[in-house]
Amino acid sequence: MYFLSTRGNNEKITASQAIIKGLSSDKGLYVPSSFKDLSSELKKLVDLDYKELAYVILKEFLTDYSEKELRYCIESAYDEKFDTEKITPISKVGENYVLELYHGPTCAFKDMALTIMPYLLKTAIKKNNLQEEVVILTATSGDTGKAALEGFSDVDKIKIVVFFPENGVSSIQKLQMKTTKGKNTCVVGINGNFDDAQTGVKNIFSDKEFNNDLRQKGYILSSANSINIGRLTPQVVYYFYSYLQLVKENEITLGEKINFVVPTGNFGNILACYYAKQMGLPVNKFICASNDNNVLYDFFKTGVYDKNRDLILTTSPSMDILISSNLERLLFEISDRDSKKVNKLINDLNTKGVYKIDENMKANLSSFYGEYALEDTVDKTIKDVFDKYKYLIDTHTAVAYSCYEKYIKETNDSSKTVIVSTASPYKFSKDVLSSLSDVDSNLDDFDIINKLSDLSHTQIPGPIKELKSLEIKHNTTCEKDELKSEILKFLGK
């Protein structure tokens, strides 16, 4: 297995090299050279625990890692940092299934990859005899930041800089980032939105002069965003695991096709599900759930991707995105890996803010279905699900749930369905609580969290409970054109 760029510069590199680089030198994203078909092996995988299954899946992507190295990374990641041995349990809610991806140290699905990625990167640095110090550069819409900071804190030969929209994340997300410990961590709020942060970070990766200057100073840049294949490939595991759990519990039969509903912003999580299907997982439909920022809904309905619209700040901030970076990897696959087509589409996006795929590419999207949910629907869904099932969901999961309800009305599809829950409701406690009852404006964040716990009879996750006693370590803000100077300031250069 090797990795190549979506933009076709003929570069072929190993998994460890791709994890170090993050982004290809032609600005493309790394994709696997092929996908191993595991469909004939599914029966043998049913009884594996999460760590054993992670090894089976990841060894197919990370082929230059030895068994010992890969097992070390997996064992180090999926341990007592998670509050359940299952790592990603499934709850049955009515006739549907909710895959809970928030049982890790930061209570969000980003933990599934960002607990293992530091070990993958540390191993990669050693394998490739890298002398420079790696600087992880990350833009976050809320959850990636804290999960990356948590994972890379005080890791040797690695520093991490996280940029987030100062007014575009929840108060708990912001507090989680600002209280991060570790001498190698830097957190900066920018006066702009997530797309500004993401574009700024991408521009820095492609700035040859700046990168050369850093290399002379003893640093190279890498990414912890889902543009890095070290982030993306571990996410494939939980789609297989959820399916096999349902088989084991006799909820589905082996080989039966099911749907996955994924709340989607940067397109990494749903892309990992697509990769799972490429590896033989029996998937019927990928239901791509958007909030008011429904650029992906329009794309799946019309074949036109148009970012020329105002970004709307919602109660599901991790989805407040107009440029879904990982969609480029899907474009590569549905164009039958035609990098010339991908380059033209991305160039159109960069110059005009819009592109249109051809009919052949559109036909290759038949397993995708786009839907979106507006704010009042999200609010109502949280209350309806709790009232009916006594099951508490966050705002992003509510987007997915309500999109699935719309999908059923439109299609009458009777396939069993897994709704992917990407965050603990306590990360968005004010919005969740206000869906269930009136919220006193004088309550602080922790009063709200306690009230939500009392009302819902659910436990506050440990990582959120401890926030109240933690000291603010990071309080820097900058303009969206000042990212480079903040990096240099942190590095003391």
State pLDDT tens for residues 381-434: 999 999 999 999 999 999 999 999 999 999 999 999 999 999 999 999 999 999
**Residue 466, Cβ density class (10 Å: 0-12 exposed, 13-18 middle, ≥19 buried):** exposed
CA 68 – CA 180 distance, rounded (Å): 31
Residue 117: what pLDDT? Answer: 94
Residue 114 has pLDDT above 70, yes or no: yes
- Confidence band, pLDDT 50/70/90 cuts, at residue 83: very high
3-5 and 12-13 beta bridge pairing: antiparallel
- Confidence band, pLDDT 50/70/90 cuts, at residue 493: low
pTM as predicted: 0.94
Contacts of 485 (CB under 8 A, 6+ apart): 478
Residue 442: what pLDDT? Answer: 85
171 three-state secondary structure = helix
Closest CA to 396 of 415, 417, 375: 375
State pLDDT tens for residues 341-395: 999 999 999 999 999 999 999 999 999 999 999 999 999 999 999 999 999 999 9
90-93 and 133-139 beta bridge pairing: unpaired
**Residue 414, Cβ density class (10 Å: 0-12 exposed, 13-18 middle, ≥19 buried):** exposed
- Confidence band, pLDDT 50/70/90 cuts, at residue 162: very high
State pLDDT tens for residues 273-329: 999 999 999 999 999 999 999 999 999 999 999 999 999 999 999 999 999 999 999
CA 148 – CA 142 distance, rounded (Å): 11
Contacts of 148 (CB under 8 A, 6+ apart): 110, 114, 117, 136, 138, 140, 160, 162, 224
Decide: 103 and 83 in contact? Cβ < 8 Å. yes
Map 215-267 to HEC letters: HHCCEEEEECCCCCHHHHHHHHHHHHHHHHHHHHCCCCCCCCCEEEEEECCCC
Domains annotated on the chain, with CATH:
90-108+230-467 (3.40.50.1100)
Torsion angle defined by CA atoms of residues 264, 256, 94 and 413, in that order, rounded to the nearest 10 degrees = 70
Residue 140 has pLDDT above 80, yes or no: yes
User: Could you tell me the maximum CA-CA distance found in the chain, to the nearest angstrom?
Assistant: 61
What region, left, alpha or beta, does residue 8 occupy, with left being phi > 0 and alpha being psi -120 to 50 degrees?
left
Decide: 177 and 152 in contact? Cβ < 8 Å. no
Decide: 139 and 193 in contact? Cβ < 8 Å. no
List phi, psi (to 5°) of 27. Answer: 75, 0
State pLDDT tens for residues 197-224: 989 998 999 899 999 999 999 999 998 8
